[in-house]
Amino acid sequence: MHSTDEQLREIMRRKDIISEKRIIRRHLYASAIASCICVVLLVAVCFLIPRISPVSDTPVMLRYGSLLLATPYLGYVVVGIVAFLLGICITLLCIHWKALKQKEQKQR
């Protein structure tokens, strides 16, 4: 039979383990939702950019020096930048997830 102090310590240790698992699960769900939102935004940008950036006959002087708006390649530039940012987000997500898994394995 364990003393009351030992039982209380064990209860607190189990409580900490359960709360850490909840936090890890919340981080995982939030990361998955954020990744899905990023993918949806990337697809939306891919479909909307050709409709948003029409080639106009406006003189270059009226465009105030913006070189990207003067060409029909604006859509490709925006999609490339968004895809790059999405890749960074997914990479950071994977690194974070790996660190959480290693922390969980160390506790076992």
Q: Measure the CA–CA gap between 32 and 35, rounded to whole angstroms.
A: 5
What pLDDT score was predicted for residue 5?
87
Per-residue pLDDT tens over the stretch 51-98? 665 555 555 555 554 555 556 666 677 778 878 888 888 888 888 878
Q: Is the pTM of this model over 0.75?
A: no
Per-residue pLDDT tens over the stretch 2-57? 788 888 999 999 998 899 889 888 888 888 888 788 788 878 877 776 666 555 55
Structural domains of the chain, count: 1
Q: Measure the CA–CA gap between 31 and 102, rounded to whole angstroms.
A: 17
Cα torsion angle, 59, 63, 65, 71, sign: negative
What range does the domain containing 34 cover? 4-107
